[in-house]
Amino acid sequence: MSASKLEKKIWTLEQKLREEFNAALHNELDKVFARVDQLETEMQLLKGETPLQKANTRPDGGVACDFPQDTCPRQILQPSDKKIVPVQDAVQEAWEETPRNERVRGMKDLDEVLEPVAFHESTWNVVLVLGFTEAGCLDTLISCLLLLASAALQVTFSLILLSEDFLGEPFVKHLGHAEKWRRGLAHDYKHMDLSETSLASRVCNKDETLIVSTNQANLIGQINAFLSIRPAQHEPTELRRGILLCMLCIFLWCLYLCNEFRAIGLSFEAILQVPRQARTRLEQGRLASISYTRCFVFCCARLVRGMIAGLLLYGGILWLANTTSIKDLVLNAVALGAILEVDEMFFAALMPKKIQIKIQDLEAIKVVYSRRRSQLEALLLLLIMSGLLLWPWFQLVEPLGENMKLVKKKFCDGDQDFVVGINANQEVTIGRLTTPFSSSRNATLIEKAVTDYAFSSGSTWQRILFESNRKFERKQTQTMEAIAKTVLTCEDFDSWLDGNQSLDLLEIYGPYWYSTAHSVGFPDNSTCKDMGDLCEFEGYHLLRLACGVTCGCESIAANPWYKVEHHGCSKGCRDSSLWQIRDLNCTNIPANARSWQDFWQMYPDEVESLAVVLSQPLKNQVRAIAQKMMIEGCSALLNVSEDPVTLTNFCAGNTNPELWSAAPLRQLCPFTCCSQASSASSSSCPTKCCFDKMDCDNADCNDDAVRENCRRTCRLCLA
């Protein structure tokens, strides 16, 4: 209500209260003094005196007494004992003489309250003042158009609220979207980040650096906030704040509409209390009577208003129950309240002033409210409100919460830490494990390289190996074997840091060295000596490349398993070991030597890890060979010279990365291996194992038997 209207209402109410108070007081005083006059007359008659005419009577027969400056008598004479009695006692006597049934009915009337029903500043009340505003035809036309426009606008809002495009698709449909995303994009290897974390893990753990699947990440974030679920969980562990806030907003909206329905019902009752006649009479803002036509139109308008309120109630509840963002719930509830007040905004902004003033002057109509009616109405409203809350809770909000949990599980349940790709040639899915997501993890090698180059002034070769555009793709897919074959010296890379004489080598191989410590989990300033204990572990290829000397790549007595380019040992170290074989004694190492035992302990696992699927008998055979070799030593090679899976000769070794890769066992078992003609053909036996067992003059070296006995003559030994 505007301030001017409020002030005017207060002034009008004050005047009416003053007038009603004076009228009621004079009426009661007239009755009292009439009773006093009667008692005085009776007293004079009892004394035998002639009653005197009162001089202070009014022409209308009432007592001439003006309030508050009246001079009316306040005492009367009691005829029985001729005592002076106060007027209050006389009034009490008159009350006692009143019949009891009338007094009881008056007390019952005290339980009834007159509730004033006001006519609000709304376009819907135009029908009550048309014809009494002294407004022009244009004002009347505009007011009618505003009534129709406000009604049409609210109906349009209601229909839009109930439309499928506005409410959106049911949340349960996100189940299909989540399943499709999880199987089609979440584990695609192309979407791993630099830390090798899968897209599924990043989305489900709220990674703020996402540039793909942001819609899925936002939806999961809304679910987590709505149900109070932590990113790594699938069930709420505390009060579901979104569910509670949604029900509170629905409750607030129901209160809005409950107030609206209550006002509509009271306006019906109030208008029906106005006497209905052929013509409407409006006297100083009070409806003295209303015509049948105007009453019918007003009731129809109220019915339309009630239907619009019903549509808004239903549509608003559906809209709030479909709001999955906890941040938008309160805003949506306030927006719905604005829709409900469209008619009042039309009235305040566009209604002609003449009609505005006339509607503002409409006097409230009083409706009787008894104690019984108040209790019944309160109970009915409580039941309706309970129903309006129970229906969305069981049918909308609680199922929404359950669907949210199912969608979250579709997105993030199960193993997230793997990615897959397709081998187009074989039409086989290839997978690999990824790094679990952690907001507090240390930077990976590639992330540290990017940071160093972007924000520090260090040399470009310290962590990143820059290549031209043409070489970039090739360098990115280059194998360890390929880079190891380019290293033609056998040195530890950290020895190059002592001076500038190897700056050219550092420019080529520096990134490999500066990446080594991080790859094995050591500080950046670690040396090869610090990391030497890890050389015999699987997967540390980069360590063996950068620390070839420390890792024994050129040592004859080292474990042959890792002494190949495929496992990181450089070509320079391999060539160096071949030259050392020439000076070896022609003796086998003992069976309990560490390098021999380590080789055969690793052999079964390496063979079984090949892409070939081994049958159980073949697995048993491989393990039996390893056990035999560990017990008998080099002499067992005379009986078992080849691997039964790859048909690789143990003495000759193998450098094929598709099979198991190891250096020749000839360096550990020169006597046994060099006594076999087939293994001696590689010209890699020690010089001391190279001699003729017979007279080989004019011998035919193409004959295997001759070659076996004439090794020196047939040049089957090292030069």
Q: Residue 52's CB: how many other CB atoms inside 10 A?
A: 9
Q: To the nearest 10°, report the CA torsion of 386, 390, 392, 394.
A: 180
Spatial CA neighbour of 257 closest among 347, 333, 330: 333
Spatial CA neighbour of 492 closest among 516, 520, 475: 516
pLDDT lower than 50: segments of the chain: 4, 55-88, 90-91, 94-95, 98, 101-111, 460, 677-682, 718-719
Asked if 77 contacts 63 with a C-beta cutoff of 8 angstroms, the reply is no
Q: Residue 584's CB: how many other CB atoms inside 10 A?
A: 19
Length of the chain: 719
Provide the pLDDT for residue 72. 43
Provide the pLDDT for residue 394. 92
Side-chain-facing half-sphere of 693: CA atoms under 13 Å = 9
Provide the pLDDT for residue 53. 53
Residue type (1 letter), 708: E
3-class secondary-structure state, position 207: coil
Determine the Cα–Cα distance for residues 640 and 470; give it in Å rounded to an integer: 48
CA distances from 535 to 18, 30, 306 (A): 107, 122, 84
Predicted TM-score (pTM) of this structure = 0.59
Mode of pairing for the β-strands spanning 113-117 and 365-369: antiparallel
Give CA angle at 151 (150, 152), nearest 5°. 90
Give CA angle at 338 (332, 339), nearest 5°. 90
3-class secondary-structure state, position 75: strand
Determine the Cα–Cα distance for residues 368 and 115; give it in Å rounded to an integer: 6
Provide the pLDDT for residue 403. 92
Side-chain-facing half-sphere of 464: CA atoms under 13 Å = 17
Domain chopping of the chain, boundaries: 3-97, 123-168+241-369, 171-239+396-418, 584-719
617: its two tokens: 């008998």
Using CB atoms within 10 Å of the CB of residue 246, give its burial: 0 to 12 exposed, 13 to 18 middle, 19+ buried: buried
Helices (H) and strands (E) in the chain, counts: 27, 9
229: its two tokens: 């679920």
Q: What is the pLDDT of residues 129-181, one digit of tens each?
A: 888 877 788 888 998 999 999 999 988 888 888 888 777 788 888 898 999 99
Provide the pLDDT for residue 624. 92
Asked if 57 contacts 63 with a C-beta cutoff of 8 angstroms, the reply is yes
Asked if 569 contacts 488 with a C-beta cutoff of 8 angstroms, the reply is no
Q: What is the pLDDT of residues 414-436, one digit of tens each?
A: 898 998 887 666 556 788 888 88
Provide the pLDDT for residue 668. 86
Asked if 44 contacts 50 with a C-beta cutoff of 8 angstroms, the reply is yes
Provide the pLDDT for residue 11. 64
